[in-house]
Amino acid sequence: MFEAESILPFVRVTPNMTSLNSISSISSHEDREEIEAVLAGDTSAFDRLVKKYQRKIYYLALRMLGNTEDADEVTQKTFLKGYRALAGFRFEASFKTWLTTIAINLCRTELSRRRYPQEEISEHIPDLSGEEKRGEEEEHEHRLAHLKEVLETLPARQKEVVVLRIFHDMPFKEIAEALKSNETAVKVNFHHAMKGLRERIQKRLHHEKM
């Protein structure tokens, strides 16, 4: 049996912020050039933006909605809405953050519309061979199942913060921009979410041992 903390991804406490900021700055500059090209009539530039960010948006939607069909639809709608609204983009936030905001809002709309339980998230598991590796695969699947289940018990805003922070490695400041919130509120939501996740996992493990 594994410990509760072992199935919770840990956020890096001391990342190299200078390196991250440099990469972010380069990416933002490249995005600005592509956006200006789109607005000048080069639609292929938007295709390049889609290729750059579609995977991030898809997995964000997948973790928020829990099934591939809805994730596909939200991803398509995100880029369609982004393309139509591109002329109004003011570069006050990064293009990635702007797309994330669109995707989050579409996910909220879908979740509020639903009348049925969420389906299980489909995760890619590496093709492992051998008894030992099969055991590792089963343990990994078991951990994922626990994490997904307890993640769905969180309040909506806490779940959004956890998905963006842990699965998408977004800084708190960027999360605040994407959610139209402030950094303090985001950190508070994250703290309460992680506390709640650990408590729920500990409770479940306690029942399994009985």
Per-residue pLDDT tens over the stretch 39-61? 999 999 999 999 999 999 999 99
Give the C-alpha separation, 110 to 28, whole Å: 29
Instruction: List the one residue out of 186, 193, 185, 178 whose CA is nearest residue 105.
Output: 178
Confidence of residue 206 (pLDDT cuts 50, 70, 90): low
Asked whether the whole model's pTM tops 0.75, one would answer no
Give the C-alpha separation, 190 to 172, whole Å: 9
In this predicted model, which residue has the larger pLDDT, 115 or 51?
Answer: 51
Radius of gyration, CA atoms only, the chain:
19
Contact, 73 vs 64, CB < 8 A?
Answer: no
Q: Is 73 helix (H, G, I), strand (E, B) or coil?
A: helix
Contacts of 197 (CB under 8 A, 6+ apart): 8, 147, 150, 151, 154, 162
Q: What is the pLDDT of residues 16-43, one digit of tens each?
A: 544 445 545 667 889 999 999 999 999 9
